[in-house]
Structure 1
Amino acid sequence: MSSSWPAHLDVGAVRFARPTANYEEVLAFYRDIVGLRVLAQWRNHSGYDGVVFGLPGAPVHMELLQFGESPRIPERDPENQLVLYLKGPEALAAACKRFADDGQTPVEAANPYWTDHGAVLFEDPDGWLVVLAPWTFE
């Protein structure tokens, strides 16, 4: 398996975006509990509030957007996930402690794959799941 992008697709970064109806809560969750770095943030730009999170040294970003007077998000689904692959059981324990210190409680995975492989899941303020998996793909 190749570890580089195809020659015709010279990608420098990847950003995933999704809506939120709980801007302040998800901002605090991903910034303060998960610990992601805020790369950009704006309020009322053409009616949009947004924040872009990134991982240090990695060109992967997550953008959360809120728009309109009564922001709406898609219905909750157990497969709406941000999966963070951690570098082993010690890294998993440290991450879980940070969540626990904030009063967060793990939630049950709908897909048994995660539990069978030692992952721990937490729910963000919109009901999307953060999966902490104690392995990486090499």
Structure 2
Amino acid sequence: MVIQQLRIARPVSDLTASADLYCTGLGLHKLGEFRDHDGFSGIMLGDKTLPWHLEFTFCQHHPVQPATTVDDLLVLYLPDAACWQQRCQVMTRAGFTEVTSFNPYWAKNGATFQDRDGYRIVIQHAAWQA
């Protein structure tokens, strides 16, 4: 059986700010949300045409501080040079900070960005090849 959908869930310090940042920077859309389900709230972001989406959560009763490392990455591939360059510019304008990649491999054909909670996204100028 093949998995049909991938959700990447991350705790964040501010649901609205994180959702706005990722929608603007990555061109994602709000797919759904929930409020105060046993103290948890969340927002799902993605695109209905993609087999993956992001979920950001916040627990009102026991806030979890995001605990990232410099090598925890979300890597997105854009093979077209103009699209890659434009996405990198949009990421910066949206409020992501461009940072030096911990692993130099990602700097060869990509750019690494960090959000306000320390999560890192690589916009890789390449096509995925298995």
Report the TM-score, using the length of structure 2 for normalisation.
Answer: 0.87
Who is 1:137 aligned against?
128
Note if 1:127 corresponds to 2:125: no
- Greater fraction of residues in strand: 2
Q: Is the 8 A contact 1:22 1:125 kept in 2?
A: no
Partners of 2:60 and 2:93 in 1: CA distance? 34
Q: Deviations along 1:19-44, whole A, 9 cap, x unmatched?
A: 11222221111112222121111221
Aligned-partner residue type, residue 126 of structure 2: W
Who is 1:71 aligned against?
63
Could you tell which deviates more after superposition, 81-90 or 121-130?
81-90
Q: Deviations along 1:75-123, whole A, 9 cap, x unmatched?
A: 230122111111222111110121233354411100000012x201111
Report the TM-score, using the length of structure 1 for normalisation.
Answer: 0.82
CA distance change for structure 1 residues 96 and 124 in 2, over 3 Å: closer, same or farther?
Answer: same
Aligned to 1:97, which of 89, 97, 107?
A: 89
Who is 2:11 aligned against?
19
Q: Is the 8 A contact 2:6 2:52 kept in 1?
A: yes
Between the two proteins, the alignment pairs up a number of residues equal to 129
For residues 9-48 of structure 1, what are the structure 2 equivalents within 5 Å? 9-48=1-40
How far apart are 1:58 and its partner, in Å?
A: 1.5
Partners of 1:127 and 1:99 in 2: CA distance? 15
Could you tell which deviates more after superposition, 53-62 or 123-132?
53-62
Aligned to 2:106, which of 114, 121, 130?
A: 114
Q: What RMSD over aligned residues (CA atoms) do the two structures have, in Å? A: 1.8
Report SS of the residue matched to 1:106. strand
How far apart are 1:69 and its partner, in Å?
A: 3.6
How far apart are 1:74 and its partner, in Å?
A: 4.0
Q: Alignment identity in percent? A: 28
How far apart are 1:130 and its partner, in Å?
A: 1.0
Partners of 2:7 and 2:102 in 1: CA distance? 26
Partners of 1:126 and 1:57 in 2: CA distance? 27
